[in-house]
Amino acid sequence: MQRYTMLLVSILVLVVGAVFLAPTLWQLVYPYAYREIIEENARANGLDPLLVAAVIRVESSFRKNALSPKGARGLMQIMPATGHWVAEQIGRHDFNEEQLFEPAINVKLGTWYLRNLHDQFDGRLAVVLAAYNGGRGNVRNWLYEKTWSGQIDDIAQIPFPETRHYVWRVLRVYNIYRGLYAR
């Protein structure tokens, strides 16, 4: 009987410990690194910092030196051509693609680009995320040709499997971040 009681007490301690440690454990899996940089740039571009953190988590898992097989770089996985275009738009004439590995510059350019997509696609989050991953031209075509309605409920209609999966992942991670870090 004493052995049974010890087993029950041990299980109870584990369950109570898991309940109290759960947010901390989840924050290890879903970190919010570079928080100050993210919040400053998100605020400057009228974006939710937790959305930016979710994009970074999905794009690079917060690895500042991430390099995709296609050449996307840094935290927000910005292609060099996009980096040059955004830098030109914001008046950064000293830009070079190696700067995409610098968190402050990468997040500055990435949040500006997200905002630009937000404005172009009337703030429709699923559409903005699809354009960030699959290209604004492709998304414009999908919407124009009615291949995709642009609605969150119709994400399965996105023709590119990678983009479809990306949008689902960012939205899921965004919900997790809001649960863990929303004030």
- Note whether 21 and 37 are same-domain residues: no
59 is catalytic: yes
Which tens digit of pLDDT belongs to each residue from 83-141? Answer: 999 999 999 999 999 999 999 999 999 999 999 999 999 999 999 999 999 999 999 99
Domain count, the chain: 2
Domain membership of residue 114 as a residue range? 31-181
Which tens digit of pLDDT belongs to each residue from 136-161? Answer: 999 999 999 999 999 999 999 999 99
- Note whether 16 and 94 are same-domain residues: no
Which tens digit of pLDDT belongs to each residue from 39-98? Answer: 999 999 999 999 999 999 999 999 999 999 999 999 999 999 999 999 999 999 999 999
pLDDT, residue 7, reads: 59
- Note whether 57 and 86 are same-domain residues: yes
- Note whether 14 and 82 are same-domain residues: no
pTM score, whole prediction: 0.87
Those residues with Cβ within 8 angstroms of residue 143's Cβ, 6 or more apart along the chain or in another chain:
127, 149, 150
Tell me, letter by letter, the H, E, C secondary structure of 89-126.
HCCCCCCCHHHHHCHHHHHHHHHHHHHHHHHHCCCCHH
Annotated active-site residue in 59, 102, 145, 162: 59
d(CA 78, CA 89): 15
- Note whether 147 and 79 are same-domain residues: yes
pLDDT, residue 27, reads: 83
Give yes or no for a contact between 48 and 41, defined as CB atoms under 8 angstroms apart. no
